Structure 1
Amino acid sequence: MDYVGRVPAPPLDRYVDDVYCLTGVPDHRRVTVPPMPSAHLFVNLGAPVRLWDSDLSVPSAVFTGGWFMGVWTRRFHVEYPARVRLVGVHFKPWGISPFVDRPATELRDRWVPVDAAWQRSLDRICDAAGDLESPAATLRVLEEELRSRLARAPSRGLDLVQHAGGQLATSHGAVPVGALTDAAGVSGNHLAAQFKSHVGVTPKRVARIYRFARLILAVEAPGPVDWAELAHTAGYFDQAHLSKEFKDFTGLTPTEYLALRRRFPADQAFPPVPAE
């Protein structure tokens, strides 16, 4: 499966890490995705995609069109069709806020159809992109829709969240929340409330997700892995702390994850890994 992505031009780059196309035959039809520091927009131009929550009480969903996903605090599963054609957006954790007029808590750990948030937009995107074969041209369609949807004035508190979130991103979650509040001159309760409004989770949770992302992207599955060293580098108290976080976020122990990665090398960089 081919991945073509790019960082959009300003001002979208303040809120979006990349826009991308996925096309072709997937090496692995079903993958598991742990929490990562992103919110998402997907527009499916191909056969249906099925999603499962790791919470078994939540029914699976099948999407023939598009869907939004806020920041996830637990893993979920994706089953691709035999041939994929999909365009998407990786928003920064706070980046979906100026595009979707609903509280971020309503998107946390959920998938929401595009038309529930952007009425009548999905048909316009699909009509414009449906016959395009060039990934670059397809991405231009998606970027134009994003530009048309970008709020003219930032919502109250978004600048604060963007600044504090940027520090968490740069430090891979290592900056203490107390240092963020001191630097911003606000209380911890105020910062947490603004993060919940624009991200859907607290800054402490965002820091955990950034720290885990740093850890998991540092794992080089083909060779020997020094988990104690990785725990130290990623900012965990010790290897036991790392193991607990790993189990919470992936459902696997570090050893089980490493064995799975070695059996099924990733198409791209982590996070997605094959689901057994």
Structure 2
Amino acid sequence: MDYQIFKPNANLAPFIKCYWTLDHPKEDVPQVQTIVPDGCMEMIFHYRDLYQQYIDEKTVVQPRSCVFGQLTKPLKIKPTGVTGIFSVRFHHDGFIPFATLPIKEMDDRAVCLKELYGNEGTELEKNIISTQTVKEKIDLVEAFLLKKLNTETIDRIVKTTLDLLLHVNGQISVNELSTQTNINRRQLERKFSSTIGLSPKQLAKTIRLQTTLKHLLHKEYINLTTLAHDSEYYDQAHFIKDFKEFTGLTPKEFYGENLQMSSLFYGSE
């Protein structure tokens, strides 16, 4: 499996965390992979065979190109053949300046580029798929995004609150977040919903769990009890409940499975 990460140019760095590519030959027996919510939206292009995703125990084929909204639950996917993916990973609030639909309406959805951008989206897909090098793909998508960039949609209140959430690894209550930023809780929740697609509580839980997953995958803890305590969960039962909500597995099951697709991305920030 060949997974590579590339940095955006300086003009787009405030919005884009990175670009990544994934190439993998066809498997004799394709494996179902689980993607764990990380609070970031992605613009995805499949330049080889498509992926299936599981929705309510039914399978649908993902679009050739799409923007995947915020995940509020684990996403199960499976390759249908040869994997070839080029993706734009946005910062937590990074997609809003390029959005043409309400962010909240995109939660847990793969929204095709044609739905978002009409014929321009179709043309971008065609050009990205037909180019051979990663540099060409990055140049194309950056030119497209710079043209679409709407800085008026950037919310400074959300940006300040998000910085605080990331600084404390999500280990803060919404009431404390409201107090420290001097923003009414309901106002904060409305702004997060429209800008990020998640509530402050959902995003805090996601950030805290992502930090915990990195510790787990890097084998930085000798037991789960210590890991739960240092991540400031109330107790191990609370830790296991949140962990299963976002991964679909208990911590021990996750560690044993070592989820291939998701584990690639935890170290890519």
TM-score (norm 2): 0.88
Pick from 219, 244, 248 the counterpart of residue 247 of structure 1: 244
C-alpha displacement of 1:64: 4.5
Pick from 168, 185, 190 the counterpart of residue 188 of structure 1: 185
Q: Which residue is equivalent to 1:145?
A: 144
C-alpha displacement of 1:266: 6.3
C-alpha displacement of 1:32: 0.6
Structure 2 residue 13 is matched with structure 1 residue 13: yes
C-alpha displacement of 1:19: 1.4
Partners in 1 of 2:253 and 2:166 — Cα distance?
28
Partners in 1 of 2:260 and 2:24 — Cα distance?
18
C-alpha displacement of 1:207: 0.2
Q: Contact 2:36 / 2:262 at 8 angstroms: preserved in 1?
A: no
Cα distance 1:26–1:236, how it changes in 2: closer, same or farther (>3 A)? farther
Structure 2 residue 222 is matched with structure 1 residue 218: no
1:1-44 deviation digits (Å, cap 9, x = unpaired): 22222231233221221112222327764311122121111111
Give the alignment of 1:1-276 within 5 angstroms.
1-25=1-25, 29-53=31-55, 55-56=56-57, 59-154=58-153, 158-220=155-217, 225-261=222-258, 269=264
Cα distance 1:132–1:113, how it changes in 2: closer, same or farther (>3 A)? closer
Cα distance 1:149–1:61, how it changes in 2: closer, same or farther (>3 A)? farther
- SS, match of residue 177 in structure 2: helix
Q: Which residue is equivalent to 1:274?
A: none
Which ranges of structure 2 fall in alignment gaps of 5 or more residues? none
Letter in 2 for 1:63: Q
Cα distance 1:251–1:126, how it changes in 2: closer, same or farther (>3 A)? closer
C-alpha displacement of 1:195: 0.4
1:90-128 deviation digits (Å, cap 9, x = unpaired): 112221111112211101122211111111233322333
Q: Contact 1:67 / 1:113 at 8 angstroms: preserved in 2?
A: yes
1:172-222 deviation digits (Å, cap 9, x = unpaired): 102333343234332011010000111122111100000010111111377
Partners in 2 of 1:175 and 1:93 — Cα distance?
17
Cα distance 1:147–1:37, how it changes in 2: closer, same or farther (>3 A)? same
Cα distance 1:181–1:267, how it changes in 2: closer, same or farther (>3 A)? closer
Letter in 1 for 2:162: G
Sequence identity (%): 22
Q: Contact 2:114 / 2:122 at 8 angstroms: preserved in 1?
A: no
User: How many residues are treated as equivalent by the alignment?
Assistant: 265
C-alpha displacement of 1:226: 1.0
Bigger helix fraction: 2
Q: Contact 2:69 / 2:108 at 8 angstroms: preserved in 1?
A: yes
Cα distance 1:3–1:121, how it changes in 2: closer, same or farther (>3 A)? farther
TM-score (norm 1): 0.86
What is the root-mean-square deviation in Å for CA atoms of aligned residues?
A: 2.5
